[in-house]
């Protein structure tokens, strides 16, 4: 899984900040890692040089194999809060989307239709019940 971090001109950070963003996002989607091909994180300051209450914005877009991209956004007063909020939203969106797919894939058969070991051994020997 590849994680790309993009930011506008008003967001200052370096490699350490980028690694922290990647760690937060990777931790949030860890159990879905096998199904995700790429994640893009877009960080921005909505007010530019002015200060405000909800001025930092994080948009995270996850590309899941075989599906349309799943995108979430969160605004907060600090960049860390925005990233963590968006990561939480992404986790819930992935749970909802992938959970629906898993539920509609057929589900499990009724208990009486599941063969036990004795039934399988009889089948191998060519015996009937």
Phi-psi domain of 94 (left: phi exceeds 0; alpha: psi -120 through 50; beta: other): alpha
pLDDT at 2: 92
CA dihedral 98, 104, 110, 113 (to 10 degrees): -100
CATH of span 2-125: 3.30.160.100
- Indicate whether this model's pTM tops 0.75: no
Q: What is the pLDDT of residues 26-58, one digit of tens each?
A: 999 999 988 899 999 999 988 766 665 668 999
Chain centre to alpha carbon of residue 128: 48
Q: What is the pLDDT of residue 42?
A: 95
Distance CA 57, CA 43 (A): 6
Residues 63-110 have pLDDT tens digits of 998 889 999 999 998 899 999 999 999 999 999 988 776 655 555 556
């Amino acid at each position: 899984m590849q994680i790309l971090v993009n930011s506008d001109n008003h967001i200052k950070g370096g490699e350490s900040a980028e690694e922290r963003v990647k760690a937060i996002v990777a931790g949030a989607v860890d159990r879905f890692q096998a199904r995700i091909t790429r994640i893009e994180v877009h960080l921005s300051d909505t007010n530019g040089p002015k200060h405000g209450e909800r001025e930092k914005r994080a948009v995270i877009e996850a590309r899941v194999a075989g599906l349309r991209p799943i995108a979430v956004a969160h605004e907060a007063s600090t960049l860390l809060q925005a990233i963590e909020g968006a990561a939480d939203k992404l986790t819930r969106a992935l749970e909802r989307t992938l959970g629906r797919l898993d539920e509609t894939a057929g589900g499990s058969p009724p208990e009486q239709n599941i063969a036990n070991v004795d039934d399988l051994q009889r089948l191998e020997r060519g015996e009937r019940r």
